Amino acid sequence: MKRSLTLVIIVVVAALLAAPAWNFQEKKPIAAYIIKVVKDVERRASKTEGWSKALALSELKAGYEVRTQEQSLALIKFADDSKVTVRPKSILTIAGEVQGGKILNRDIYIERGRTVFDIKKQKEEQFRFTSPISVASIRGTEGGTGFDPGNNLADITIITGIAEFASSRTGCQVQVGAGMTGIIDSTGNCSADTASSGQLNNNNPTSGVNTGTVIDTTGQAPGAQPPAPQPPPTPAKFTLSTPGGTLESGKGALIKVALANPPTDISQATLFYRIQGDPSYKQSTMTVSGVNVEATVPAADVRAGATKTFEYYFSMLGANGTTYTFPETDPEATPYTLPIKPRIVYIKIPITTPSGEERFLQISYEE
C-alpha cells in the first residue's frame, strides 16, 4: 500500500513538471535600458536612494527614476523596441509588468519636463503616460508629451497614431490624432487643436533634437515653439462630450457627460430620453458635480423595441440665467443616439407528446 501511494505521488509530480511552462510564469516588473546618454543623465531605484550617473546600457526596472540636466538627453529602449527620449530638465519614473514574453502594462510618470516616444503596437497592452494632472493612453503611436509644473499645464502632440488625453482631476477627455496637440490645465479643462510646424518638429522622435544629434540648449527644437504648453484657447461655444457604447435592453443606463469650458456654473441639468419611435420624451433630473453631469435611466425605460435605438438630449440652466441645450439646434428632432442590444426572452411551454409523455417546448424572442 505504501509503495502504491509513493508511485501516485511521483506520477502527479511528473505530470505537473510536464505541464505547459506558462502555468509557472509569474508577473515580473518590466525592465528597459538606457541606450544613449548625452551629457548629464542620472538614475535611481527609488526616492529613498541617491542619484547615480547613468551610462549607456544602464538597466531601468519598474520604479526607477531618470533625471536629465540642461542640454542633456537619455534614450530608453524596451524589449519590444519601443523607445522613449527623455528631454533636458526632465524627471520621469517607469512602471509596468511582464509575464513570460508578454507585456501586461506600461506607465511612464512625468514629474516634470518632456518625453518623446515611438511606441510599438501591442495586441492588448496600452501604454500610458501620466503626470500630476493628466493621463495619456496610446497604442502604436509616435509623438511627445510633457508637464510644466511652473504653469501646471500638460500637453501631448501626436505625429502618427492616436491618443486619448484626459484630466486626472475632472475626467475631461479629448482624442488627439496625428498632427494635433492636446492641452490640459490645472482646473481640468481640456482641448485639442492643429499642431504648429514647430510643435510637430519638437515632438518627432526622428528629429535631431530627439536623437541627440542636435544639442538642445533650451528644451526645444531649433526654430520650434517652446515645449511648455500654453493655456487652452477659449472655445467659440460651450460644448460637452457625449457617452459612447451600447445599452442593453432591460438594464439601467448611466448617462454621464463632461462639460468643456462652460461660460458659467451649471445650476440645473435635465436629461430628456425615449426609445426611437415613442411619441414623447421622458425626463430625469441630472446630478451636477463640477464639470461632470450624470443621470441614470431606469431599467424599465431601456428596451430595444423595433428600432433598437435610444434617443436623448440635454437642457441645462446656467447660474447666469441662460438655458443651454445639447444638441443646440432642434434637439427633439435631432437628438443624440445610442444603440440598444435586445434581450433574448425564453419561454417554456408544457406539452404532451402523442405517446403521453410530459415535455416542454422552448421558444425565444427578442424583447
Quote the pLDDT of residue 140.
Answer: 82
- Residue (of 59, 50, 54, 133) closest to 94 by Cα position: 59
Say if residues 43 and 66 touch (Cβ distance below 8 Å). yes
Q: How far apart are CA 202 and CA 159, in angstroms?
A: 10
Say if residues 278 and 326 touch (Cβ distance below 8 Å). no
Q: How far apart are CA 365 and CA 367, in angstroms?
A: 6
Complete domains list, the chain, with CATH: 22-211 (2.60.120.1440), 239-338 (2.60.40.10)
Kindly give, in sequence order, each residue whose CB lies less than 8 Å from that of residue 73, ignoring residues fewer than 6 positions away: 36, 37, 38, 39, 41, 85, 86, 87, 88, 210, 212, 216
Instruction: Look at the alpha carbons of 199, 200, 206, 208 in this order and tell me if their dihedral is positive or negative.
Output: negative
Q: Following DSSP, what letter does each residue of 163-174 receive, concatenated? A: EEEEETTT--EE
**Tens digit of each residue's pLDDT (9 = 90 or more) over 201-244:** 899 998 888 888 876 655 443 334 444 455 555 444 677 777 77
Kindly give, in sequence order, each residue whose CB lies less than 8 Å from that of residue 117, ignoring residues fewer than 6 positions away: 82, 83, 84, 85, 127, 129, 138, 141, 142, 143, 144, 145, 205
Quote the pLDDT of residue 24.
Answer: 53
Say if residues 34 and 60 touch (Cβ distance below 8 Å). yes
Residue 331 DSSP label: T
Quote the pLDDT of residue 365.
Answer: 57
**Tens digit of each residue's pLDDT (9 = 90 or more) over 111-131:** 999 999 998 887 766 789 999
Say if residues 43 and 54 touch (Cβ distance below 8 Å). yes
Please name every residue paired with 366 in a beta bridge, in sequence order, or none if there are none: 344
Q: What is each CA distance from 234 to 67, 191, 196, 259, 326, in whole angstroms?
A: 35, 9, 18, 13, 19
The three cell numbers of residue 326 are: 445639447
Kindly give, in sequence order, each residue whose CB lies less than 8 Å from that of residue 180, ignoring residues fewer than 6 positions away: 157, 158, 192, 193, 194, 195
Quote the pLDDT of residue 235.
Answer: 46
The list of the chain residues with pLDDT below 50 reads: 1-2, 4-23, 219-228, 234-236
Quote the pLDDT of residue 298.
Answer: 95
Q: How far apart are CA 291 and CA 356, in angstroms?
A: 67
Q: How far apart are CA 194 and CA 233, in angstroms?
A: 12
